[in-house]
């Protein structure tokens, strides 16, 4: 009997003691007709995350496979992420991603995604809708990354490129044998979008319209939190993304040039927002293409803050 896992779940975590139980419970509640493994990489957490993971690994030794760092690799400037720590030890044919501060809410998530892949050989990526939870305000909303699309099915590459709202990384599911990418993909300062665009160039994308995951905004140690904490870091992210988009444009022979220009403007806008250059953000193409109601709200908010500073 083959006991090898069909799916390898990749979980990267650091100082997620408040969240990691919910994350791991989301893995363990999955109802499947196949085996899966949970690969957790902890980057030397100091808040008790490691101890929680060890307890789960003790209870579920055949499923939970942790890897603990003796020194924080991120602070040393070393490459981090699923491709570095978890993919090389993954035994499954498929890879599912979920970072330690997010979690799954559909017990059939993996089964549904495997069924799509097994029945559609040309499918390279399966994603889903999700719910966003702001850790500060505790407010929730349906993400709807594909805009008004309410029906599950295969979606056009343009929708994946433009993602009306953030495509939940915790929903991403793909074939391990398609994980090897050209260097410029791997050198990008973020990991999820380059991976999506690489998979987009390798096959079809399937989208589940029902929310399958919970995405935390403003969680401890999140990318957004780090990007807003340092102008230097925000600039490195921005420059790295622009370089990636230029390379991707050339790689795809400018097939998606219009969408790439939009994405570059979006990253320019995000850079100005992260560095609190609100006036400059309003001059970007991305801001000018926002719905009128949103633009008015943001302009009014900016004017109110400006008046308060002057007074």
- Give the up-direction half-sphere exposure of residue 6: CA atoms within 13 A in the CB hemisphere: 12
User: Which bin fits 221, alpha (ψ -120 to 50), beta or left (φ > 0)?
Assistant: left
Instruction: Kindly report the number of other CB atoms within 10 A of residue 208's CB atom.
Output: 21
Q: What is the pLDDT, as a whole number, of residue 111?
A: 98
Nearest Cα to Cα of residue 133 among 35, 192, 213 = 213
Q: What are phi and psi of 187, to 5 degrees?
A: -85, 0
Structure tokens at 61: 């030794």
Nearby residues of 243 by Cβ (< 8 Å), 6 or more positions away: 184
3 state DSSP class of 98:
coil
- Residue 106 pLDDT: 98
pLDDT computed for residue 311 by the predictor: 43
**pLDDT tens per residue across all 311 residues of the chain:** 468 999 999 999 999 999 999 999 999 999 999 999 999 999 999 999 999 999 999 999 999 999 999 998 888 877 767 777 898 999 999 999 999 999 999 999 999 999 999 999 999 999 999 999 998 898 999 999 998 888 999 999 888 888 767 899 999 999 999 988 888 888 887 778 889 999 999 999 999 999 999 999 865 655 555 545 578 888 988 999 999 999 999 999 999 999 999 999 989 998 998 888 888 999 998 888 888 888 888 888 777 766 655 54
Q: How far is CA 91 from the centre of its chain?
A: 22
Distance between CA atoms of 97 and 247, rounded to whole angstroms? 25
Q: What is the pLDDT of residue 189?
A: 79
Tallying the residues shown for the chain, one arrives at 311
> From CA 194, how far away is CA 159, in angstroms rounded?
15
Q: Give residue 75's pLDDT.
A: 81
Nearest to 36 by CA among 75, 64, 71, 74: 64
Cα angle 50, 109, 139 (rounded to 5 degrees) comes to: 70
User: CA 163, CA 146: separation in Å to the nearest integer?
Assistant: 6
pTM metric for this prediction: 0.88
Tell me how many degrees the CA angle 184-39-105 measures, rounded to the nearest 5.
Answer: 95
Q: Is the CB of residue 45 less than 8 Å from the CB of residue 124? A: no
User: Which residues, 6 or more positions from 225, have their beta carbon under 8 angstroms from its beta carbon?
Assistant: 218, 219
Q: What is the pLDDT of residue 47?
A: 94
């Amino acid at each position: 009997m083959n006991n090898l896992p069909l799916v390898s779940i990749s979980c990267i975590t650091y100082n997620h003691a408040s969240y990691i139980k919910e994350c791991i419970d989301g893995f363990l509640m999955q109802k499947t007709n196949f085996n899966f493994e949970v690969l957790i990489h902890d980057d030397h957490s100091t808040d008790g995350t490691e101890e929680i993971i060890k307890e789960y690994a003790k209870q579920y030794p055949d499923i939970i496979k942790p890897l603990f760092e003796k020194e924080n690799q991120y602070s040393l400037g070393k490459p981090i992420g699923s491709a570095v720590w978890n993919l090389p030890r993954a035994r499954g044919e498929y890879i599912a991603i979920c970072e330690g501060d997010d979690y799954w809410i559909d017990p059939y998530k993996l089964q549904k995604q495997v069924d799509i892949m097994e029945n559609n050989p040309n499918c390279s990526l399966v994603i889903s809708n999700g719910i966003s939870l702001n850790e500060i305000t505790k407010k929730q909303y349906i993400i709807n990354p594909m805009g008004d699309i309410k029906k599950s099915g295969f979606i056009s590459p343009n929708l994946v490129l433009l993602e009306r709202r953030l495509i939940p990384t915790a929903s991403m599911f793909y074939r391990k044998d398609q994980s090897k990418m050209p260097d410029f993909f791997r050198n990008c300062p973020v990991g999820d979008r380059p991976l999506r665009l690489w998979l987009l160039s390798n096959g079809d994308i399937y989208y589940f319209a029902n929310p399958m995951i919970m995405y935390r905004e403003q969680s401890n140690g999140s990318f957004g939190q780090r990007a807003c904490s340092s102008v230097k870091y925000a600039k490195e992210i921005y420059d790295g993304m622009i370089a990636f988009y230029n390379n991707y444009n050339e790689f795809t022979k400018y097939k998606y040039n219009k969408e790439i220009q939009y994405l570059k403007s979006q990253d320019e806008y995000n850079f100005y927002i992260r560095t609190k250059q609100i006036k400059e953000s309003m001059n970007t193409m991305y801001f000018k293409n926002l719905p009128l109601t949103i633009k008015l709200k943001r302009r009014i908010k900016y004017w109110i803050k400006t008046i308060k500073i002057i007074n």
